[in-house]
Amino acid sequence: MLDFHHYLPMFFEGLRELDEPYKFIADKALDDLLDKCPHKVLPVLPQLIIPIKLALNTKIPEVIVTTLKKLQKLVKCGNAVAEALVPYYRQILPIFNVFKSKRINLGDQIYYGQQRNENISDLIQETLELFETYGGEDAFINIKYMIPTYESCMF
């Protein structure tokens, strides 16, 4: 039996890694754990907040993109997980507010990162919409408190 209280926070801490193979191992291990055992995530959720916050606060675009994708996967692994995440918005969302308006303006050039879903601003918007959709009735109020420019996707 795999100890989620030990491994899940450790792999979320691994999201800050920039060196291969550590980055790859953390990424794939999180994918496997969240896909195969979504019912075991809820009890470990409070232990995940600090590693998620530290990963977002690195302000390294590559790390933020990976963390946002894992947050989306975390929210989708069960409705109870998204609702349990609402009280922790005050720790997670401040960095969203910093990068929400960082759009890439290339003029008439092509941005190929769109194909790989690497635009931080778009990822933040998608993540906030998932938080609101799966987070229950208090999610929008808490998101709006932390990110005043956010507009609801539900209405």
- Tens-digit pLDDT profile for residues 88-101: 999 999 988 887 76
pLDDT digits (tens, 9 = 90+) for 108-122: 666 665 556 667 888
pLDDT for the residue 53? 94
pLDDT for the residue 91? 92
pLDDT for the residue 115? 56
> What's the pTM value of the predicted model, to 2 decimals?
0.87
58 CA to centre of own chain: 14
Cα gap 59→79, rounded to integer Å: 29
Q: Give the pLDDT of the chain (155 residues) as one tens digit per residue.
A: 788 899 999 999 999 999 889 999 999 999 999 988 888 888 999 999 999 999 999 989 899 999 999 999 999 987 789 999 999 999 999 988 887 766 665 566 666 655 566 678 889 989 999 999 998 888 899 988 988 888 887 76
Which pairs count as long-range contacts for 115-121, CB under 8 Å and 24+ apart, including other chains? 117/65, 117/69, 118/65, 120/61, 120/64, 120/65, 120/68
